[in-house]
Amino acid sequence: MITAEQKPIQEIRDMISPYKKILVLGCNSCVAECAAGGEKETAMLASALRMAAKMNEEDVLIEEKAIERQCVKDFVILLDDIIDQYDAVLSLGCGAGVQAVGDMFYEVPVIPALNTEFLGETKEQGLWLENCLGCGDCMLYYFGGICPLARCSKQLLNGPCGGSMEGRCEVDPDMPCAWQMIIDRLSRFGALERLEQVYPPKDWSKKQGVGPRRIQREDQQR
């Protein structure tokens, strides 16, 4: 899923300051899972902004709503009946959600309330880890299901480096060494020979080398 964190309140207040009627818009998908932009967080942010406005005697209307996905047109269209009531939307969606809402309602400024972070895994309650860079050319098979690009501090495709100690990373000893995990996992599968190959530098052209990426599937289209 896509992870995100809320921006500082003051930054948000500065961005919404030109507007008088603001819809605080949550997204109940990825950013709800990472407790940044779901219904609860939307209600909390809207409440805090209303309180801040009252304390500063600002005459603004701040209302809230959450939709299932801000990045899918079929859900964004549900705002059609109410969007005209507002000068601006403060979105708690990821960057894709902010832009999707803006594309659909071109005349309305859509302001990001979150900083979108990474493709993550919910490791445990309250802990999200970056495990995938979305490189466009998955190599997890070769590395025992552990991505060295996302999880090795040095992004080594031919590791480990000399700094791995007792299974910990020298860059951050709190972090497990990705290469230790790769070797342990491949050993378990009896597939260590996959590491006998020397992997060439990553071909990043499949990530962003050709500009913005798109996926087009005719079988999914109308």
User: Should residue 205 be labelled a site residue for other proteins when binding is judged by CB under 8 A?
Assistant: no
User: Should residue 57 be labelled a site residue for other proteins when binding is judged by CB under 8 A?
Assistant: yes
User: Should residue 43 be labelled a site residue for other proteins when binding is judged by CB under 8 A?
Assistant: yes
Q: Which residue from 48, 83, 119, 149 is in contact with other proteins, where contact means CB under 8 A?
A: 48
Quickly list H helices, 81-220. Answer: 95-104, 148-151, 178-189
Q: What is d(CA 127, CA 119) in angstroms, rounded to the nearest whole number?
A: 13
User: Should residue 80 be labelled a site residue for other proteins when binding is judged by CB under 8 A?
Assistant: no
Q: How far is the CB of 43 from other proteins (least distance, A)?
A: 5
State the virtual CA torsion across 179, 184, 190, 194 in degrees, nearest 10.
0
User: Should residue 82 be labelled a site residue for other proteins when binding is judged by CB under 8 A?
Assistant: yes
Crossing angle of helices 9-16 and 39-55, rounded to 10°: 70
Q: Which residue from 5, 39, 170, 184 is in contact with other proteins, where contact means CB under 8 A?
A: 39
Bridge partners of 127? 124
Q: Which amino acid is at 86?
A: Y
User: Should residue 19 be labelled a site residue for other proteins when binding is judged by CB under 8 A?
Assistant: no
Range in contact with other proteins (rule: CB under 8 A) among 55-63, 110-118, 163-171, 204-212: 55-63
Question: Is 44 or 192 the residue whose CB approaches other proteins more closely?
Answer: 44
Q: What is d(CA 22, CA 17) in angstroms, rounded to the nearest whole number?
A: 10
- Asked if 5 contacts 11 with a C-beta cutoff of 8 angstroms, the reply is no
Q: What is d(CA 175, CA 22) in angstroms, rounded to the nearest whole number?
A: 41
Q: Which residue from 4, 22, 62, 183 is in contact with other proteins, where contact means CB under 8 A?
A: 62
Residues forming the site for other proteins (CB under 8 A): 8-10, 28, 39-40, 43-44, 47-55, 57, 60-68, 75, 78, 82
